[in-house]
Chains A and B, each alone.
Chain A
Amino acid sequence: MSDPVLEVRNLRVEFPSRAGALVAVDDISLSIMRGEVLGVVGESGAGKSMTGMAILGLIEPPGRIAAGEIRLKGERIDGLSDRALEAIRGRRIGAIFQDPLTSLNPLFTVGAQLAETIRLHLRLGKAEARARALALMREVGIPAAESRIDHYPHQFSGGMRQRIVIALALAGEPELIIADEPTTALDVSIQAQILALLKRLCRDRGMAAMLVTHDMGVIAETADRVAVLYAGRLAEIGPVAEVVRRPRHPYTQGLMGSIPSLRRDVEALTQIPGSMPRLDAIPPGCAFNPRCGRATPRCRTERPPLFGGASACWLEAGADDRGAAA
């Protein structure tokens, strides 16, 4: 088996506070292979964006990576200097964020922004960079790219702007793309176009992608594997079809049941009582235990490891049928 493009091991992100360190990402391990899309799903505050930010080296101080390691093609990138990180961001790791309007500079044409990024990363001449910019705009599906290259961001629709942002992320020919809610600000018909584009680019360019979203439907259609986060911890990780069809962790099961379906009617949706704990009030043991219908005394005291079935739940301890404990 080939080596993963990204490997995150036991990542821990902390924010100091008067009441002690708040742990936003707590012992998360995951990896992404070439051409693979890993979905990262969870509710607000679950730590999904923070994981992406940590990989990009964009955790705002006083927040910091307190433990664990992040490897890009085997090479450690956590703890690098700002300068070294700047050389990696954009060049080897591309980023796409939710709001395309704030990701673009309103004062420059999209062509100028693309060409600047290309020249910064690839050391090309002006004319070559412009030609490359045009090629990128075509690749991300901007119609009549040659006439639109000198337009400003506000002259594009939301969907077209997000395509430009994707083109910008591709400018340095990165090995890994971190896409954080890339379609949340877009309408459904545009969302489908952008997701299809992302998938095609990963396949064609052999890029690895981390798709951070709250939308399980988006994950089901786009990702190859999915990591479900809860209260900064990995609750479950596995192939997308498995996790969607046969979720193992009680949180994932509740999450799936709470999503209204497009294809069938139910009288009432599954309800998970309560809400996700705040970072300063994470219960001991399994973070999900106060909301879990199947919690045992052990769940209230001891934190479950990620079992071989790739669910962090004590129910797996006896019924581990997908191999030994990890």
Chain B
Amino acid sequence: MKPETLVEAAGLHRRFDVSAPWLNRVIERRPRQILNAVDGVDFRIARGETLALVGESGCGKSTVAKLVTGLIRPTEGSIAFMGDRRRIQMIFQDPYASLNPRWRVADIVAEPIRTLDRARPTPEVARRVDELLETVGLSPRDGRKFPHEFSGGQRQRISIARALAGEPEFLVCDEPTSALDVSVQAQILNLMKRLQKEFGLTYLFISHDLSVVRHMADVIAVMYLGRIVEMAPKAALFEAPSHPYTRLLLDTIPDLTAPRRDRAPMAGEVPSPIDPPKGCAFQPRCPIAEARCTRERPEPTPRPGGGVVRCFART
């Protein structure tokens, strides 16, 4: 039986106008500049599963998160959510910026409960807040405190409690642990996995850290300059990475279990998304690029082991 799809993105595009101000354009004769932050992204997430988007800064992964949650609108394409649209919640990277410093923790966690059901009596809301704080490993007494009284890891627990308060089916997590120390990261990742099992949550998990992604995801999508260059079930991706960029990422991440002290790092950097290379965006850095790659843009094609890859050499 095919698992039920909860979220589906089709042909997502988001362009930003990053032109200089009008007067500068006229005087300096500069054209308009358009940044293709998300440049044709398709994916589906099955209910109860985790899709991870991984990529380096500027690859468009956070823009996808904002599109999926409806914080910004796509320029083209669509996102279908087979559920109650109110049951989407988001967890942000910076637990210092995402909690209102003037509100007590109990009020922060209570807000989504009240938004969902305005008629809910106050004592019942308070009971639910206590329960949520306990679910994420805090104590009901913490509800009386303000966010500044907590460490980064505890604040991220508060963010998770707030997200759960909205009784979500689908959680979008944008780099939820990258501001945290590793031992605290482990606590938060374990908590998120436990909650997923307990409440049958579906995650869109965004991270630049492939080892974190490996721990959390069922399916992994690797993004490069606004496009998904490879998407596959976790095991298939790690056992046999197909796209040269996925290989580059796997080769360059320092690893504890198998450190490579004599590595010859790959040269080059991610090009500017304002003026991306013609054809395949990865072609200037690609060790196996052919003439065709500089002219044509590869489309997603099925890869061995399941999933898709955008690469001429791999099809």
Contact = CB atoms under 8 A, between A and B. Distances in A.
A19 interface: no
B257 A43 contact: no
B210 interface: yes
Interface residues of A, number: 43
A266 B214 CA distance: 10
Contact of A262 (B184, B186, B210, B269): B210
B181 interface: yes
Given A43-B181, A268-B190, A187 B211 contact: no
Nearest to B184: A275
Given A187-B56, A192-B263, A220-B254, A259 B211 contact: yes
Contacts of A195: 254, 265
A216 B257 CA distance: 11
Interface stretch (A25-33, A118-126, A250-258, A304-312): A250-258
Contact of B181 (A193, A214, A217, A261): A214
A187 B208 contact: yes
Contact of A221 (B57, B254, B269): B254
A265 interface: yes
A159 B269 contact: yes
Interface string B170-212: 0000000000011111110110010000000000000011111
A157 interface: yes
Contacts of B258: 263
A256 B186 CA distance: 11
Given A260-B215, A262-B210, A190 B269 contact: yes
Given A43-B182, A193-B265, A217-B259, A261 B252 contact: no
A186 to B, nearest CB: 9
Contacts of B256: 216-217, 220, 244, 256, 259, 261
Contacts, number: 128
A159 B285 CA distance: 15
A44 interface: yes
A275 B270 contact: no
Interface in A236-290: 244, 254-266, 268-272, 275-276
Contacts of A109: none
B46 interface: no
Contact of A43 (B183, B211, B269): B183
B183 A221 contact: no
Contacts of B268: 189
Among A195, A221, A270, A272, max chain B CB count under 10 A is at A221
Contacts of B270: 187, 189
Among A195, A220, A244, A272, max chain B CB count under 10 A is at A220
Nearest to A197: B265
A271 B265 CA distance: 33
B175 to A, nearest CB: 13
Interface string B146-173: 0000011110000000000000000000
Contacts of B56: 187-189
A262 B214 contact: yes
B253 interface: yes
A157 B249 contact: no
Among B209, B215, B258, B267, max chain A CB count under 10 A is at B215
A69 B121 CA distance: 64
A218 interface: yes
Contact of B182 (A187, A188, A216, A264): A216
Interface string B203-231: 00000111110110000000000000000
B261 interface: yes
B288 interface: no
24 contacts: A43-B184, A157-B269, A159-B269, A188-B208, A192-B266, A193-B267, A196-B263, A196-B264, A216-B182, A217-B259, A220-B255, A221-B254, A221-B259, A244-B259, A255-B183, A258-B186, A260-B211, A262-B253, A265-B215, A268-B193, A269-B190, A271-B186, A275-B151, A275-B183
Instruction: Please provide the 9 A-B residue pairs with the shortest distance between their CB atoms, ordered closest to farther.
Output: A217-B254, A258-B186, A43-B181, A192-B265, A187-B56, A269-B186, A260-B215, A220-B259, A192-B252
